[in-house]
Structure 1
Amino acid sequence: MVYELRIYTPVPGRMPDLLRRFQQHTLGIWARLGICHAGFWRTHPKVDGDQLVYMLVWNTLEEREALWAAFVSDSEWIAAKQESEIPGPLVVNITSSLLASHLFSAVT
């Protein structure tokens, strides 16, 4: 298994719009394409700034490449992204890290 940790830093004041886009569009598109997530979290704004953190689960790196390419080129996703960004971008920065578990990890 390959885990992908993704962290989104929204434009100030746009976190509600980012969350709405995930709830109303992104998660449904992922389900249709077979993209699996392990969970979503939000950093505490007063401690770490206001960020959306989530983890995706992939069987292989090749699966990740194929499914992510399908996602970013999906016509429904492109339309949802364009519509949600009419007033301007939702995010300032996105970081992504691919993780492999250690033998002693509770998650394999």
Structure 2
Amino acid sequence: MIYELRVYHCAAGRLPALHQRFSHVTLPLWHKHGIEQAGFFTTVVGPSNQTLTYLLKWESLAEREAKWNAFATDPEWTAARAASEADGVIVERIDNSFLEPTAYSALR
């Protein structure tokens, strides 16, 4: 199992719009494409409270590439993303890492 750690750094005041997009658009589309999340988190204490951090679960990098590309090019997603950004950009920057659990990790 491989975990993908993604940190979305939102434009000022746009975190609520990102929550709205994930809960109403992104998650149903991920379900459609077989993308499985392991958790979503907001920052309570840290450099910024305008971030959304989440983990995705993948069997392999090949699975990730196939499913992510299908999602990213889905016309429903591209239209919904554009509509959600009609009032301005939501995410200014994304940090992305791929993680492999250790032998003693609770997540495997």
TM-score range, shorter chain: over 0.9
Cα distance in structure 2, aligned partners of 1:105 and 1:41: 19
Cα distance in structure 2, aligned partners of 1:70 and 1:59: 16
Structure 1 residue 59 corresponds to structure 2 residue 56: no
**1:105 paired residue number:** 105
User: Are residues 47 and 101 of structure 1, via their aligned partners in 2, closer, same or farther at CA, if it must alter by over 3 Å?
Assistant: closer
Q: Which residue type is aligned with residue 63 of structure 1? A: E
**1:49 paired residue number:** 48
Structure 1 consecutive aligned stretches of length 4 or more whose deviation exceeds 4 Å = none
Percent identity, please: 44
Unaligned residue ranges in structure 2 (runs of 5+): none
Q: TM-score, normalised by structure 1?
A: 0.95
Q: Cα distance, 1:47 vs. partner? A: 3.2
**1:32 paired residue number:** 32
Paired residues, number: 107
Q: TM-score, normalised by structure 2?
A: 0.95
The alignment partner of 1:47 has SS state of: coil
The alignment partner of 1:48 has SS state of: coil
Compute the RMSD of aligned alpha carbons.
1.0
Unaligned residue ranges in structure 1 (runs of 5+): none
